Amino acid sequence: MKILAVVEQREGALRGVSTEVVTAGAELASVAGGEVDALLLGAPDVASLASPLGEAGAARVLVAAHEALAGYHPDGYAALVSEAVRDGGYELVLFAATSQGKDLAPRVAAQLDVPLAQDITGLSVTEGVLRFVRPVYAGKAFTRITIEGAPALATLRPNVFQGSAEAGAGEVVELSTAVDPTGWPTQVVWFEAAGCDIPDVAEASVVVAGGRGMKDPEHWHLLEDLRAALGNAAGLGASRAVVDAGWRPHGEQVGQTGKTVAPRLYFAVGISGAIQHLAGMRTAGTIVAVNRDPDAPIFKVADYGIVGDLFEVLPRLTEEVTKLRAGS
Amino acid sequence: MNIIVCVKRVPDTETRVRVGDDGVSIDPSGVKHVLSPYDEFAVEAALRLREGAGSGEVAVVTLGDDSSQETLRSALAMGADRAVLLKGEVSHDGLATAKALAAEIGEADAPLVLCGVKAADDDQQQVGPMLATLLGRPCATAVSSFELADGTVRCRSEVEGGTALFELPLPAVLTITKGEYEPRYASLKGIMAAKRKPLEVKDAAASPSRLKVETMELPPERAAGRIVGEGADAVPELVRLLREEANVL
Ligand SMILES: Cc1cc2nc3c(=O)[nH]c(=O)nc-3n(C[C@H](O)[C@H](O)[C@H](O)COP(=O)(O)OP(=O)(O)OC[C@H]3O[C@@H](n4cnc5c(N)ncnc54)[C@H](O)[C@@H]3O)c2cc1C
Ligand SMILES: Nc1ncnc2c1ncn2[C@@H]1O[C@H](COP(=O)(O)O)[C@@H](O)[C@H]1O
């Protein structure tokens, strides 16, 4: 099977989820026979990012390098990816289910006239038939699906595909397609970083989330301290109640009308565990709840719970985690 | 300026999902349906734009069966001017849906088409940009706010770690996320008025689904957790368990 993994870079650095996508492709290729190529779009020097993709399992790294591709451009990226898929005769095209991947993949699907499975959490092949697992109803159920027609397109939920694969040759191949930004109607005016360099809640491998029990946005430093103690891969999340109250940005909201997350470890602090919140985080690896109400529904999904006042528990937790990490 | 909003009927987010007898869809018994939450944001955004401009029409379009008339009426009750029900199969194949919508919207005099960023049932998050591609229009997704200026629309899109500002020439398609558009409640007057507003029913341009659902299952129940203890004194034991038992620290 010929597989293409469309990878992401931002400001000249590969995004972590890119290697997950390449490795997932390589794992599948090793079962089904075949190879995975990576497709990397970026600034003129972007080929310098190719070697980790080879290590992650890519046989070839197709590169489109141009000033106009330095940042994500929906029109330009969609046209180039569609063309690379057609030219390469790929049977399966994988993207990361990030905001970029979920914006790009549907455009490519419509250009190629093939269906798309967004945000999959499972991928397998048996007797040549590809199967995808997709959560629906915000994770309250999941579907096993097949796609008619080739290529099959899917975006992979971050943090879920944690396999390993043998390194590929990672041979760099420049795409020959001409890049002509004059034909792209959309103007990308700017990208503004949220003013912090912590990972987004949807991609963080550890999430510290707070709810209305935090009482006041001024208290968020307690969560931030715990997050910082947990290391660089930890991000912040929030319930809808605190987002609606304007305490936290919508980008941090976890749940049915926010983000669906699957971190290795999720802390729910002062969050009651409404069905819409649980929908967004119930596939987390380990869930820890801190709540003073022993009957809070969050305890039904939590692996470990502490019943108590979060204002006492949080500082102690930060202290113990800091101690532990300093010692290890 | 005329605006078209694509809306979908979905189970209420409170729904406890059970798998139906067919094994591939949810058991509809006892399930309350609503206008998908992100589509409410999109309807709200369209209404504010029309109110700001003091002219133009907001039309809502859905692909669905007769039960979707109720969903269209809720959008009309919020303030939309007219509704179209495209009768046809609703599947998980977003491209099939986008084709049916594109056939209706095609050359319509609506410089702005709004969708929700994702539907609260299949969560496919794809119909908007697919529709835009089929219509040959530019598109911005996950838009939390936008303004019109001089034949263009300036949109702020939520992306990981920040916000991107896109400027699209009209006609365009946007998919709306929560941002600024807290939806209004329909007033009693609005509900009454909705009954008299035009609701056109026609057959959808059929596109078969090429995405087949083989099974639908409930996620495995999480094994019952454990209360480690009460108050701050329980913290050392929690940290020990996270490290030694769960291997996550
Ligand atoms: C259409 C729709 C979509 C929705 N989408 C989402 C969504 O995406 N995400 C989401 O989160 N919600 C969503 N909701 C809202 C959801 O129903 C709940 O209202 C919300 O999750 C509650 O947030 P909370 O847990 O922070 O607040 P609350 O339910 O008020 O819970 C606060 C908790 O803090 C505890 N507490 C208080 N003080 C302390 C203390 N000192 N120490 C320890 N614990 C304390 C309390 O015991 C309580 O359990 C949605 C609702 C609707 C209708
Ligand atoms: N059956 C439908 N009828 C009308 N609009 C739809 C339909 N399905 C999806 N949409 C639109 O596309 C958006 C995204 O849906 P989805 O790609 O299915 O997550 C929705 O919020 C609607 O605006």
Query: CATH number for the domain including A57?
Result: 3.40.50.620
Position A146 in a domain: yes
Q: What is the pLDDT of residue B187?
A: 95
Q: What is the pLDDT of residue B57?
A: 97
Mark yes or no for CB contact B142/A142 under 8 Å: no
Sheet holding B139-149, edge to edge: A187-193, B162-169, B152-159, B139-149, B172-176, B112-116, B3-6, B58-64, B82-87, B199-203
B178 touches chain A (CB under 8 A): yes
Q: What is the pLDDT of residue B224?
A: 75
Percent of chain A at pLDDT above 70?
98
Q: What is the pLDDT of residue A196?
A: 63
pLDDT digit string (tens) for B90-112? 999 999 999 999 999 998 999 99
pLDDT digit string (tens) for A281-315? 988 999 999 999 999 999 999 999 999 999 999 99
A172 plus A213 within the same structural domain = no
Contact present, B61 and B104 (Cβ < 8 Å): yes
Position A304 in a domain: yes
Mark yes or no for CB contact B128/A141 under 8 Å: no
In this model, does residue B155 exceed pLDDT 70?
A: yes
Q: What is the pLDDT of residue A195?
A: 59
Report the DSSP beta bridge partners of residue A116: A153
Of A157, A148, A115, nearest in space to B126 by CA: A115
A48 plus A167 within the same structural domain = yes
Task: Give me the mean pLDDT over the A180-193 stretch.
Answer: 88
B244 touches chain A (CB under 8 A): no
Q: Where are any strands of DSSP class E within chain B?
A: 3-6, 9-11, 33-35, 58-64, 82-87, 112-116, 139-149, 152-159, 162-169, 172-176, 199-203, 211-217, 226-230
Q: What is the pLDDT of residue B220?
A: 82
Q: Give the count of Cβ contacts less than 8 A between chain A and B.
A: 283
A16 plus A103 within the same structural domain = yes
Mark yes or no for CB contact B126/A308 under 8 Å: no
List the domains of chain B with CATH numbers.
Answer: 2-203 (3.40.50.620)
Provide the domain count of chain A. 2
In this model, does residue B48 exceed pLDDT 90?
A: yes
Contact present, B171 and B110 (Cβ < 8 Å): yes
Q: What is the pLDDT of residue A197?
A: 74
Q: What is the mean pLDDT of chain B?
A: 95
Position A189 in a domain: no
Position A47 in a domain: yes
Q: What is the pLDDT of residue A159?
A: 86
A132 plus A260 within the same structural domain = no
Q: What is the mean pLDDT of chain A?
A: 94
A159 plus A255 within the same structural domain = no
Lowest mean pLDDT among A125-139, A210-224, A302-316, B80-94: A125-139
In the 3-class helix/strand/coil scheme, how is A87-123 assigned residue by residue? HHCCCEEEEECCHHHHHHHHHHHHHHCCCEEEEECEE
B235 touches chain A (CB under 8 A): yes
Position A188 in a domain: no
A27 plus A170 within the same structural domain = yes
A134 plus A244 within the same structural domain = no
Q: Which residue has the higher pLDDT, A128 or B231?
A: B231
- Which band of pLDDT confidence, cut at 50, 70 and 90, is reported for residue A11? confident
Task: Give me the mean pLDDT over the A265-291 stretch.
Answer: 95
Domain that holds residue A260: 206-326
Report the DSSP beta bridge partners of residue A143: A134, B216
- Which band of pLDDT confidence, cut at 50, 70 and 90, is reported for residue A51? very high
Position A291 in a domain: yes
Report the DSSP beta bridge partners of residue B163: A192, B158
Q: What is the pLDDT of residue A192?
A: 75
Tokens of A50: 């190719």
A317 plus A240 within the same structural domain = yes
Residues with CB under 6 A from ligand 2: B 6-8, 36, 38-39, 62-64, 90, 94, 97, 101, 115-116, 118-119, 122-128
Q: Which residue of A has its CA nearest to B137?
A: A185
Interatomic CA distance for residues A206 and A199, integer angstroms: 10
In this model, does residue A177 exceed pLDDT 90?
A: no
For strand B172-176 and strand A13-14, is the pairing parallel, antiparallel, or unpaired? unpaired
pTM of the entire predicted model = 0.92
B32 touches chain A (CB under 8 A): no
- DSSP states along B6-24: E--EEE-TT----B-TTSS
Interatomic CA distance for residues B99 and B97, integer angstroms: 5
The residue among A134, A151, A183 that closes a domain is: A183
A254 plus A290 within the same structural domain = yes
pLDDT digit string (tens) for A188-212? 888 777 656 788 898 899 999 999 9
A288 plus A322 within the same structural domain = yes
A227 plus A165 within the same structural domain = no
Mark yes or no for CB contact A300/B165 under 8 Å: no
**Which listed ligand is nearest to B123 at the C-alpha?**
2
A18 plus A136 within the same structural domain = yes
pLDDT digit string (tens) for A74-108? 999 999 999 999 999 999 999 999 999 999 999 99
Contact present, A158 and A202 (Cβ < 8 Å): yes
Q: What is the pLDDT of residue B180?
A: 84
pLDDT digit string (tens) for B215-233? 999 988 887 789 999 999 9
Position A199 in a domain: no
CATH of the domain at A248: 3.40.50.1220
Position A257 in a domain: yes
Q: What is the pLDDT of residue B221?
A: 80
- Which band of pLDDT confidence, cut at 50, 70 and 90, is reported for residue B162? confident
B43 touches chain A (CB under 8 A): no
Mark yes or no for CB contact B230/A308 under 8 Å: yes
